[in-house]
Structure formats: structure tokens, C-alpha cells
Chain A
């Protein structure tokens, strides 16, 4: 047994050496192996349902925080949305790309899944939300424990960002 291991190690290093001659062509096989093992393992299934927290639709939940009701006019306030975009670019873009998952979820389509109050409370009160709002808590786990930073927006600024989200 020991012999087999030894000889296979020699074989492996010979293989490595022969690869070394050719410049960086060879992809590392290591990550492929790991990907296999993870898929083979039974999914740990943290939630009872199969729907990811980020895909869960919950329009009744207003979240925890200062915002208890938001009235959205039928027409989007373009001026406010423009301000919201500027704030978003400075304060949020580092973690939230507009239309793809990045550090955190993409804002595009968020209002199809969340109430406007929940969105604003998540912006204004993230520390409490991830502790007390079950959905926010689940989202934190889904996004690798990356905390939603409190960027200390005013309610007015958070409202403008919400208006911008309506345009996406």
C-alpha cells in the first residue's frame, strides 16, 4: 500500500514536471475535484422550502425600522429617481450591482418581491433587520454573512433610492 502511494506520488511529480515546460497552459485539476465532491454531497438545505431567501416573495412584510408606510404614486417621480441614482452610485454600488448578484442582491425587480417599507428599513436599519427580521436574517446567510453596511442615509435619501429602484 505504502509502495503504491509512493510510486503514484513519483508519477504525479513527473507529470507535474512535464507540464511545467509548457507555459501556464495546464489548468489546475484541483478545483474540478472539489466541485464534484460538493455536488455529490447531499444538500444541507438550511431552509424548509427550496426557494432561496433572495427569491422569496413577501410583499406584506414591512421589516423592522423607522418606516411604517410608504405611498408610491402611480407615476414615477423622475427627478427623485435621478437623485436616488446618484446616491446609489456613491453609497451602494460597491456591493450592489444593478442587475446581477454581487456582494449583495441586485436591486432590479426588488419591488416585485419586497414591500417598499421593507426596502427602506433594510437601507436605514440594517443592523437590526439582520437580527430581527427573519427574511433579512436568511438573506445574510445566503450572501455568505456579508453584512449590509449602514451608510447613514437620511430617510429622504433612502426614499429617493427606492424611487430609483422603481425605474430598474
Chain B
């Protein structure tokens, strides 16, 4: 018995020794999620910074979230298409116009595909664009302030899904419609979809200096579903590629009826040709009504303008501009490799990936080798444009990204995996499971001429048991893999906010140094700004009462206000007079039917308060700004509607 114990102890000792040596000798070369080096790879020590920014769409949150890679830490939620009471976005008078549309004020959307602006096909880190899927819109977000600066509505579109992807020099941000609709909209039977509904592909020009967006033209295509898209780059710069499904043009039970054809199409658009046509006076101006909302950083205020016209183009009027590439089978993702040579269509009902060759496509077009036409648009022969097929054995391929070494990484939704394969040879190099049911994936720069292929992030649709349970509703889950070696290595899981569809990553060094720290008070051109404490005042204009209020640690000027009456509309115009990094002040007043304001240093924001009850009501700072934050408060006296108390305001008197 004793002997036995000794033997066991000896074995333990040996095992311990072995483990100790194993860590020391094997280091990074070893595999398996339990390896301590995997923990080190995602560990960013306290006070240290991440190597990459990752911008993840919020899906049904309507916003955009900012994460660090490799840590998976979330830094910020940027409000884009949805009201955001945390900062007052969409509630404040300055930002309400951002959510104006031809349908009126729309306080929510479904944001899908962020894309960072490019110069010469490389990420330039000036802006990030994202689409609103439900009420078709494209937003532009500044990558210096990390705030939404512009939103343009897209007319004639519905289900703005094959968006928002930028061309190689950010000439255009492109928005395609998922749902075809009557163009222009009209009252007609749904059953008459086929041949009557159409799909608009919108090319929105981006002003190279300010980024301002303007719809240059819309190509009015046959009534298919335009699912995803990506620009050509390098040799294929000047082209844009869209996957389509429902080429059956079914209007009901698409689940079955849109899956009848063996092949749908990738639509190849020579946008340079269309641009030239339009510049020479081509196209038809169509009456329209769509909102263009622009935020001005100097006035801290957005304005909304309704545009009344859009230039439309019929593709058959421009020979050589639009072609269809047959692609099996209801292709979803449409991705172009860093050289611009390969266009990958992931047939979501197919097990294989279809890779088209840009060179083959050009040769087929020049040889006029067509296989019929669809509504006058030439269809190329599948065999003529095909470069190769990846036979991976996975199920439900969706999206592909690239590294800088000529490898591609494709997600498989049904079989829950990422498959790494080689461009050109089409051989599968590695496959790793995801947890679970991966949608998009993201490699920083993986959709440009210059990928930074160190990590791939899988954006999973199903979370289930990956974290502590929190009831039926959960955040989605992302997984980060190290792709620096031959085989992918799963490093870490992290939950993500909303439902990230696509994401965009960029090296931190391209953004961090130019990030705005605070707004200069001397640049503040807000008409209701309080630039100095002596400028604080209260002005009555009929039933409107304008309070010019300033904040600095730790008081409001003024903090006692009298002479307001029931039935008044009170505008609190709050200017934060701090001029230092990370000293916001909040403002909240009891019974406000809006939200709080979170005012950055040097900024002015306005909230409306309509007092309904007589009394003396407090307001206070909501952001813990200093040791005396709890003292940062004030009172506003509300008198009966027929009262004759004069307006007065004070601080410390």
C-alpha cells in the first residue's frame, strides 16, 4: 500500500516536472486553447493599448461599437441610426435632424456593414461608413471625433443591404438594394412583381476633402435581390461586384421560391463607364424625396435638407457597363482579393466556393462570349469566367476575407467553421470550428489591397453556452484567432453588443494619434453657446424660454432660475466650458420627456423641457466630474401659467 502511494506521488512529481518543462521549451509553437501563450497573446496589460481598433456594426442596435484587438475590450458605442439617451444623440435639438428621413423622424435602424475610407486601395483612417438597412441610409462617421457627421437617405431602395462599401480611393460609397420595389413607388398588385419591380444600385460620391456625400447616380437593375457587394481593386479598380439572389423574381415564400435556379448572378458593374456616361449628360433625372443630414462640428449642430431629384441610369443604355456572372447557388458574400484578380461568390446553398477570374471576365467580354441575356443585360458563360472552385466539405459558405500572404478565410454558417484556403491553388490549408454559426469574419484591412493579417475575428450568430447564462436574450459572441502561422489558433471569446454583422479593423497607430481630445471653446459657433460665464442668461421669447447655461467643475451658471411658467417650452442650452481631456458634464432635469445631455468640453448641447407642474425642480450633473460632483446641481422655479414673476437667474447670490 505504502509503495503504491509513493508510486503515485512519484508520478505526480514527474508530471509536474514535465508540465514545467513543456511551457518553457515549447512556447508559441504548441497548440490548444489551454496553452498559456494564447492567454498572453490577448492579454493587454493595465494601461497598455491594443494593437488594432475593430469597428463592429450594431445590427439591430443601429449603432457602431469600437473594440480593441486582441483584447476584445469595448471602448465606445457610437450612436449612428438610433437614439442614444446616454449622450442625448437623437434627443438633443442639435442631433434630432440627423435622424430625419422622407418618412419623418426615424429613431432606429439596422446597421450592417462598416467600411473604412481608402486611398490607393489602403485604409486611410479618415472616415468609416455604415448602412442603415431598414430605412435605407448611409452614414459617415469621423475617425477623429468618432461621431456621426453625416447621414444620407437612399431613395428607390429598400433593405439597404449590399452597402456600404467604398471604392479604392473612396470615390464612391456604394449602396445596393436587397429588396426590389416599384420604381418609382406606386400602388400596384404584389403579384405583378416579376418584370415590374426593380433594384437600385446607388453610387454616392464622397467629397475628398470633407467627405460630404451626394448620390451621383443610381443604376436601375432588374428586380432581383442585391445581397452583398465589394469593389474591384488594383487591376479591377473601376468595377463593382454585387451578388444577387431571387433571380426567380418571386414575391412570396422566398425561402422556397428564391432557391429554384441552379445559379444566380454576380452583377459586374463598370462604374467608371457609367460615371463617364453621366458626366457626358447621360441618365434621367427622376423626382425623388430624400433627406441629407449634415452635422457641423463648429456649430455642434446638424441640419437636414430634403433633396428632390436623383439621377437614374438604365444599364442597357450603356453598352459594356453591366454584365452578369452566373454563380451557384443564391450567393451571399461577394469578396474581392487584395490583387483584384479574384471575385469570390459564396453560394450559401452550395458546399463549394465559386471563384471568378477578373482576367477571364474581361476576355469573355472582349470575345463577346455571352450565354443569353437578362432584361437586356448580357450573361457571361459560367465556365468562361470561372477561375476555380474550393471544395471544402463545409456547409453554408457566407463571407471571405484575406491576409497578405495569398490566403483566404471563408466562414461556413451551417458547419460553424472558418476555412483557410490558398488563392490560385484552391487547396484547403486549415479549418477551425467557431462557436457558433459564424456570419461575417474580419481581418484588419482584409478588404483592401493591404491586409494586416495577424488576427481574424469570427462574428458568430449564436451564443448559447459560451458565457454565463443571462436569460433567453444574449449578446452575440466573437472569437479571435491568431492567423500568423500556417494553422489558425483560437485565442479568445468576447461578447459583442447588438448583432454585429460585418466589422472593419485598422492598426491603432493610424487613428490614435489624431483622435480629438476636446473641442476648442474658441471654435464654438453654436448660436446659443455660452462662451464665458458672464454670457449666461435667460431669455423669454413668447412661451419659449432660452437658458444659456455653462458648466465647469463643479457648478452650473446660472444655478437658480425663476420666472418660468407651466406651459413654457424651456430650452436648456448647456455649454461645457472645460478645456481639458475627458471632463464631460452631464445635464438632467426632473420630468424631462427626452434624455440627459452629455456635453463634451467646448461643446454646446440643447434639451427641451416642458414643465407641467408648479414647483421648484432640481437639475444636476450626471457625469461624476469631480470631488464636488454631488454639489453640481441647481433649481428652476415653475410658477402657474398666469403668474407675473419676472425671469431672473443667478449663481451664488
A residues adjacent to B (C-beta < 8 A): 89-91, 93-95, 102-103, 144-147, 149-153
How far is the CB of A143 from the nearest CB of chain B, in Å? 10
CA distance A149 to B601 in the complex (A): 12
Q: Which of B286-294, B537-545, B574-582, B634-642 contacts A (4 or more CB under 8 A)?
A: B574-582
The 5 A-B pairs at the shortest CB distance, nearest first, are namely A94-B533, A151-B579, A94-B552, A90-B532, A89-B532
Q: Is the CB of B534 within 8 A of A152?
A: no
CA–CA, A145 to B557, complex, Å?
19
A149 and B531 contact, Cβ closer than 8 Å, known pairs A94-B550, A94-B552: no
A16 to B533, CA, bound (A): 41
User: B578 to chain A: closest CB distance in Å?
Assistant: 6
CB–CB B533/A147 < 8 A: no
Interfacial chain A residues near B188, Cβ < 8 Å? none
Taking CB as reference atom, which chain B residue is nearest A151? B579
A84 to chain B, nearest CB (A): 14
Is A144 touching B628 in the complex (CB atoms < 8 A)?
yes
Q: Are A90 and B531 in contact (CB under 8 A)?
A: yes
Instruction: Type the 1/0 row for B572-596, where 1 means its CB is closer than 8 Å to any CB of A.
Output: 0000011110010000000000000
| B472 at the A interface (CB under 8 A) | no
Q: Kindly list chain B residues whose C-beta atoms are within 8 Å of the C-beta of A90.
A: 521-522, 531-532, 577
- Number of CB contacts from chain A to chain B under 8 A: 51
- 17 A–B contacts from the bound complex (CB under 8 Å): A90-B532, A93-B534, A94-B532, A94-B552, A102-B652, A103-B555, A145-B628, A146-B554, A146-B628, A147-B553, A147-B626, A149-B552, A149-B580, A151-B578, A151-B579, A152-B518, A153-B579
B34 CB within 8 Å of chain A: no
A15 to B135, CA, bound (A): 65
* Cβ distance B551 to chain A, nearest Cβ, rounded Å: 8
CB pair A152–B532 under 8 Å, yes or no, is: no
Of residues 330 through 362 on chain B, the ones whose CB sits less than 8 Å from some CB of chain A are none
Chain B at the A interface: SS class = loop
Beta-carbon contact of B578 and A146 below 8 Å: no
| In the complex, chain A residues whose CB is within 8 Å of the CB of B521 | 90-91
Chain A hits for B578, CB < 8 A: 149, 151
- Shortest distance from the beta carbon of B230 to any chain A beta carbon, whole Å: 43
The CA of A150 and the CA of B577, in the complex, are separated in Å by 11
Which residues of the partner chain A approach B522 to less than 8 Å between Cβ atoms? 90
- Measured between C-beta atoms, what is the minimum distance from B599 to chain A in Å? 14
Q: Are A94 and B577 in contact (CB under 8 A)?
A: yes
Find chain A residues with CB under 8 A from B583 CB.
149
Which residues on A sit within 8 Å (CB–CB) of B468? none
* Distance between Cα atoms of A128 and B485 in the complex (Å): 47
Determine which of A89, A146, A149, A150 lies in contact with B534 in the assembled complex, contact meaning CB atoms within 8 Å.
Answer: A89
Instruction: Among A89, A102, A146, A152, point to the contact of B553 (Cβ < 8 A).
Output: A146
Is B627 on the interface with A (CB-CB < 8 A)?
A: yes
B532 and A147 contacting across the interface, CB-CB below 8 Å:
no
Query: How far apart are A8's CB and chain B's nearest CB, in angstroms?
Result: 31
> How far apart sit A33 and B522, CA to CA, in the bound complex (Å)?
48
Name the CB-closest residue of B to A86. B532
The smallest C-beta distance from A160 to any residue of chain B, in angstroms, reads 14
Of chain A, the residue at the smallest CB distance from B628 is: A146
- Kindly report which residue of chain A lies nearest to residue B521, judged by CB atoms: A90
In whole angstroms, what is the CA distance A147 to B553 when docked? 7
